[in-house]
Structure 1
């Protein structure tokens, strides 16, 4: 079905549903009003015919009384029965017609009272009949207004008979009264229709708002479902894509070491560099997706900027020197309120971006306090940007002066991550740039008070420690992927570490039980997601209860699902996220045996 036709069909269906709900509510109001007005109508009718009978002593009054009360009782019984039903008369045409018939009969009986009881000789009695009849008419028009057909069924016979009764009296005053009654009927119908329209419009507005609220609730459910599906996809993609990349990275590291001092070493080095770029790009894409999915949460604490600035200098000074650039990171004693790890990620991305687009001169990183704000400026002497480019620099995959998509310049995600982290941490970004004169990126942060500084002494991450020469003598590798086991084992053997490779938890437990007492496994490198639904974290946690001296555990994982990450954070084990570089793996092994 074409899109426009589908939208039209959907709109027609929604309009039909809305009209049905409005009509149902109109009939419900009619039944409710009839039920509440019935006792008063019964009393009025009783007083009316008793008074008339007292004056006229005519048996026809008793006949009229029987008719009016019979109508009232039948209508009351009918309304009471259908008020408890799940279906309104509007949904059952025969029932609706019967109710309209009862209302019409009620109006006719009241109109007949004027024809039967209007005495020409007694003006007071005549006035009494007319006033009571018109009062019944006015009251009925009010509570019957929700349903237009009910108004017409009741009002037309009553006013017609009342007008006819007056005109039939033959005297001028009654003729005038009949004309006035007719005009009154026209005016009453007009106001009743206006009341009906006002009530209908209010019901339509009410149900449209309810429909919009329901639609919004459905959209929220769909968005939540999409977010959950996205999270599940990210978790699956993270593991399934990181796993082979993890094996490739380690095998390439082994190849690079094996080919040193050979003509092929340059090729191996280029391969390792390309794999590193692939891993970095993959991490960046997953990071941006996790930020969009809302799975990254900030832990805002007092943070000293100096340790983070030192980390920036350690990481980027060599890169700047190789390109003939000067990186100046000015020391500072300022503290801010932020998330240490996320803030460091923002600063690292800003510095990396500044170095990328600077060909001469350098980059300066400086922090200063301005009243109740801390400004962190990253200023470069690079290419700069035109004003129309600034509004796009935080878009994903947007890069300036990289039409060939040079992979060495990244994917254009770094500033997109900075933008999302800025909104997450509520650290506004100010950008100033002149084409050909460099750029300034400024983060605006809240300062940490002296009391907060004394209460908390966190430090920013300073990067991975270098591998220590004191590596464990024997390591067990538990991973269900044969390529990963081979890559890790080969890498460790190059560094003189004995390895035992197993593919399941049962094999690992058997190997631990049979290990030599004088040469036990010092470390267990364990994948979190094992084959057949087994969990590496559960297996590693259970070793403490089964062994007097269990091996130290390093968990390897490609998981990114929030629940999985929370479990890993709550464990006491070292966790490495795939793909793990050879440098990072050896550093973790050296660290865990210290």
Structure 2
């Protein structure tokens, strides 16, 4: 084969190789395209399946959210219903308890034997424990429902501390403990009733779990803040139990904490403290060492004291006040409670007129023009939707005098407390404690009679 023929053959092979490579490349491209097509189909199927699953999940989630909203609304409604029920039932529940305490006080005074006095004291203590439990449960329910609103005003810590110390010194004395108060002259911006209850619950807890030593109430100012400390030398609390002590019905180390059963706790005091601290927007901190004691610290906003005209102190008035021959108009629709209060006040030497409605009150005053009340004691919730405050207003209009008045009720409203803050009347929650009622009446008896407004 000649050179020309060999050259031609070489060219043909080269062309053939190039054509084969092109064909192979074309086939590879077609194969890749087919593979991509299959992959796309597979991905589309996965996307469709995932979309279906996601849609189903979203439907289930929406249904679950709907059920949760319904459950939340039902729980809130149940809580509100519970609060309304407790508020409505409190009058009916506390009314017989109020009557029992009044009758027990009268029965105790009539005892001639030591055993009879001892039994009366035990029954009275049990009634007071029941009263405390019911009141705390009702108050906690109102706090949880947001039904308790602070009445902000300037509060003197010295007066508040003295009032608490006066109440708790007899308890501390019985337990051989020392309750001390340090005056600071400081004033804070708070609700006096809620702040007092917060501090006294902590003091109660301090005395309950202290075997030796005592408790101290002290306040100090730091800039625009005031720190109130309640310290004790009690058994102390382990750090990992700090949150636990604020849980309802939780009692620290039951069985070994109290010296005796006369000051037994119900496990609600600090639970109420936590709720009131939140309502008053205070800061509460706790430091404690087991075996050494505890210190609760409340941080409140400082307030410049309000300058008021000087008034006589209740303690000065009580020493000279007498209830004998005091003319009292008693307004009460519950016959049993009326008889119990009648017996108690008569035992104190009071001159009484009894009524259960506005009409009976007007009849009692019109039938004897020579008799006008020195004091009024009125139940707030009477028959036929009448209110004790309305009858008090009628009496004041008839007599032309602002006769000092006490409204007794199981569920004091914000309006009643506002009227009390304005000095228009006194509010005493049921059940009425005879000693407190007597002290209040003796104080009111000394108040100068003002023209009616």
- Output the TM-score relative to the length of structure 2: 0.75
What CA distance in whole angstroms lies between the structure 2 residues aligned with 1:423 and 1:283? Answer: 19
| Structure 1 partner of 2:218 | 366
Q: Out of 443, 447, 459, which is 2:297 matched to?
A: 443
Alpha carbons of structure 1 residues 235 and 445: separation in structure 2 relative to 1, 3 Å = same
What CA distance in whole angstroms lies between the structure 2 residues aligned with 1:303 and 1:570? Answer: 16
Shift of 1:246: 0.5
Alpha carbons of structure 1 residues 474 and 299: separation in structure 2 relative to 1, 3 Å = closer
Shift of 1:209: 5.6
Shift of 1:423: 2.4
Shift of 1:345: 1.2
| Structure 2 partner of 1:399 | 251
Tell whether 2:104 aligns with 1:252.
yes
User: Residues 373 and 403 of structure 2 are in contact (CA less than 8 Å); yes or no, is this contact kept in structure 1?
Assistant: yes
| Structure 2 partner of 1:280 | 132
Give 1 or 2 for the bigger CA radius of gyration: 1
| Structure 1 partner of 2:157 | 305
1:109-136 deviation digits (Å, cap 9, x = unpaired) = xxxxxxxxxxxxxxxxxxxxxxxxxxxx
What CA distance in whole angstroms lies between the structure 1 residues aligned with 2:221 and 2:180? Answer: 19
Q: Any idea what SS the aligned residue of 2:244 has?
A: coil
What CA distance in whole angstroms lies between the structure 2 residues aligned with 1:456 and 1:349? Answer: 30
What CA distance in whole angstroms lies between the structure 2 residues aligned with 1:338 and 1:553? Answer: 26
Shift of 1:419: 1.9
1:388-427 deviation digits (Å, cap 9, x = unpaired) = 5444222222223433993631212212211222222232
Aligned length: 404
Q: Out of 389, 408, 413, which is 2:263 matched to?
A: 408
1:155-192 deviation digits (Å, cap 9, x = unpaired) = xxxxxxxxxxxxxxxxxxxxxxxxxxx99998998787
User: Residues 329 and 373 of structure 2 are in contact (CA less than 8 Å); yes or no, is this contact kept in structure 1?
Assistant: yes
Shift of 1:374: 3.4
1:87-123 deviation digits (Å, cap 9, x = unpaired) = xxxxxxxxxxxxxxxxxxxxxxxxxxxxxxxxxxxxx
Tell whether 2:173 aligns with 1:321.
yes
1:417-441 deviation digits (Å, cap 9, x = unpaired) = 112222222323322333322x223
Alpha carbons of structure 1 residues 447 and 428: separation in structure 2 relative to 1, 3 Å = closer
Tell whether 2:93 aligns with 1:241.
yes
| Structure 2 partner of 1:481 | 334
CA RMSD of the aligned region, Å? 3.7
Shift of 1:497: 0.9
Shift of 1:199: 6.4
Q: Out of 408, 430, 447, which is 1:556 matched to?
A: 408
User: Residues 302 and 457 of structure 1 are in contact (CA less than 8 Å); yes or no, is this contact kept in structure 2?
Assistant: no
1:225-253 deviation digits (Å, cap 9, x = unpaired) = 11221122111331111101100111111
Any stretches of 5+ residues in structure 2 without a counterpart? Answer: 1-33, 448-453
Any stretches of 5+ residues in structure 1 without a counterpart? Answer: 1-181
What CA distance in whole angstroms lies between the structure 2 residues aligned with 1:548 and 1:328? Answer: 46
What CA distance in whole angstroms lies between the structure 2 residues aligned with 1:466 and 1:238? Answer: 32
| Structure 1 partner of 2:145 | 293
Q: Any idea what SS the aligned residue of 1:365 has?
A: strand
| Structure 2 partner of 1:501 | 354
What CA distance in whole angstroms lies between the structure 1 residues aligned with 2:169 and 2:82? Answer: 38
Shift of 1:488: 0.6
Shift of 1:300: 4.2
Q: Any idea what SS the aligned residue of 2:266 has?
A: coil
Higher-strand-fraction structure: 2
What CA distance in whole angstroms lies between the structure 1 residues aligned with 2:159 and 2:328? Answer: 34
Higher-helix-fraction structure: 1
Shift of 1:203: 5.3
User: Residues 472 and 590 of structure 1 are in contact (CA less than 8 Å); yes or no, is this contact kept in structure 2?
Assistant: no
- Output the TM-score relative to the length of structure 1: 0.59
Q: Out of 326, 336, 341, which is 2:188 matched to?
A: 336
